[in-house]
Amino acid sequence: MNLAALAAARASTDQGPVKVGLIGAGKFGSMFLSQAPTTAGLTVTAIADLSPARAKASCTAVGWAEERIAATTFVEAGSELIARDDVDVVVDATGHPAAGIAHALAAAAQGKHIVMVNVEADVLAGPLLAETCRKAGVVYSMAYGDQPALTCELVDWARACGFSVAAAGKGTKYLPSYHASTPESVWPHYGLTPEQAEAAGMNPQMFNSFLDGTKSGIEMAAIANGTGLAPAPDGLSFPPCGVDDLAQVLRPSEAGGQLHHSGQVEVISSLERDGRPVFRDLRWGVYVVLEAPNDYAAACFRQYGMNTDGSGRYAAMYKPFHLIGLELNVSILSAALRGEATGQATGFRGDVVATAKRALKAGETLDGEGGYCVWGKLLPAETSLAGGALPIGLAHGVTLTRDIAEGGTVCWADVQVDETSQAVQIRREMERRFAPSAARAAE
């Protein structure tokens, strides 16, 4: 409640404003950059991007004055940025899993807090990265404004109030056919032509990952790993649901709902299965469904106008929108001024595995998240480990050694893996150190 006051006070000290280094000046990074000039107690000192010229152009596009751009250092390498003395908090907004792992480890070694916009890296190795940063005395944090951190906040709110959480997650636009979507077929689903998307600088593979179910799986895995909630045995079912029906639909099956178990992560669809829009959908928002611990609390739900299920025991709280980079300052300032993360992995509970979009042939090279070959399916971590499933974060640029049927899971044993890769080694270590007990027992 006093974060802005803390930031303003910091600016007047000898330390000066919190100094931020941004890695990746794409859409998320640009939205953050647009807020920096109007945020007391925060300044961006350095920006790393594969194209510094493009990063400078992004600063101009979001309204930075020439004087501010001239006072900012632009570099190509994230490692160079992290090593700078004028950076207190590192923001990784690359979306590249291997890069995110490298940046988190470097930040810990350099004594810098890191805000991980890169959910892909977090899901690949988050528990180990968070532990490494904690031991180094720095904060490893999810990015406020993105849906995982906002959902974790709702879960924390519910638990701090004494409620048990039946379900938590987000909304999206979903139909089963979207799992087969490719970068070539994606734009009509967004109401755009390829030419319009290109003119807007929109990456078809990235936007396809939002549509084909991969990003939903990644974000729910991050929430599960950060809250202790768990995926259903077969992952996400994407039930169509509007905000008025959250408590009715997202309660356990034994209570008349559609959940496999209480304490589940789930994504709701803004479309009915026949393509009709859901009434009062939550496509852009997040939610938590909570259960009253006693009759008195249930009566209070009714008295204060909560949307409840038929029994009155389950109720929902939701946030209808998320503003991604426009809200990122909350994570940066929380890390620097409070020493707190706005969500972080505390265990390995959910995993996202490479799943064939079509029949794949030995010798094909996978093109990763949002591509033509595979989509990312959420599974319980113990299921993924027991089956030797290949994480979606390592399914880019690897060659298949055997055929995979459409809908089949790609496993470690099905691809040529570079075991010398830092990302592979860190993932292997994370699996050994944080494997759920059920998976260990099955080994």
Q: What is the pLDDT of residue 437?
A: 66
Q: At 129, list the tokens.
A: 């990265």
Which segments of the chain belong to CATH 3.90.1210.10? 350-442
Q: Strand pairing partners for 52? A: none
Residue among 196, 179, 190 nearest 378 (CA): 179
Assess whether pLDDT exceeds 90 at residue 203: no
Residue 123: how many other CB atoms lie within 10 Å: 28
Give the residue, 203 or 319, on which the prediction is more confident: 319
The span from the CA of 164 to the CA of 149, in Å, is 19
CA atoms within 13 A on the CB side of 80: 10
The strand ranges marked E within 12-96 are 18-23, 42-48, 73-75, 89-92
CATH architecture of 3-145+327-338: 3-Layer(aba) Sandwich (3.40)
- Return the exposure string of 20-45: e unless at least 16 CB atoms fall within 10 Å of the residue's CB, then b: bbbbbbbbbbbbbbbbbeebebbbbb
* Alpha carbons 210 and 196: distance in angstroms, whole number: 18
Q: Cα torsion for 349, 353, 357, 358, to the nearest 10°? A: -130
Average pLDDT, the chain: 95
Query: Which residues on adjacent β-strands are paired with residue 19?
Result: 43
268 within 8 A of 241, measured Cβ to Cβ: yes
Structurally, what CATH architecture does the domain formed by 350-442 represent?
Alpha-Beta Complex (3.90)
pLDDT attached to residue 1: 75
| pLDDT of residue 201 exceeding 90 | no
pLDDT > 90 in the chain, percent:
93
**441 has a pLDDT exceeding 90:** no
Range 297-314 average pLDDT: 96
For the chain, residues classed under CATH 3.40.50.720 are 3-145+327-338
pLDDT at 321: 96
Q: Which amino acid is at 70?
A: A
Q: Residue 197 — very low, low, confident or very high, per pLDDT cuts 50/70/90?
A: confident
Tell me, rounded to whole angstroms, the distance of Cα 206 from its chain centroid.
13
Q: Enter the tokens of residue 130.
A: 């968070």
Distance CA 66, CA 56 (A): 10
- Render pLDDT for 330-355 as a digit per residue (tens, 0 to 9): 999 999 999 999 999 999 999 999 99
Short-list 316, 236, 242, 237, CA closest to 276: 242
Cβ pair 323, 32 in contact under 8 A: no
Contact 350, 224 (CB under 8 A): yes
Render pLDDT for 153-179 as a digit per residue (tens, 0 to 9). 999 999 999 999 999 999 999 999 999
Provide the H-helix boundaries in 292-403: 295-303, 329-333, 381-387
Q: How far apart are CA 186 and CA 192, in angstroms?
A: 9
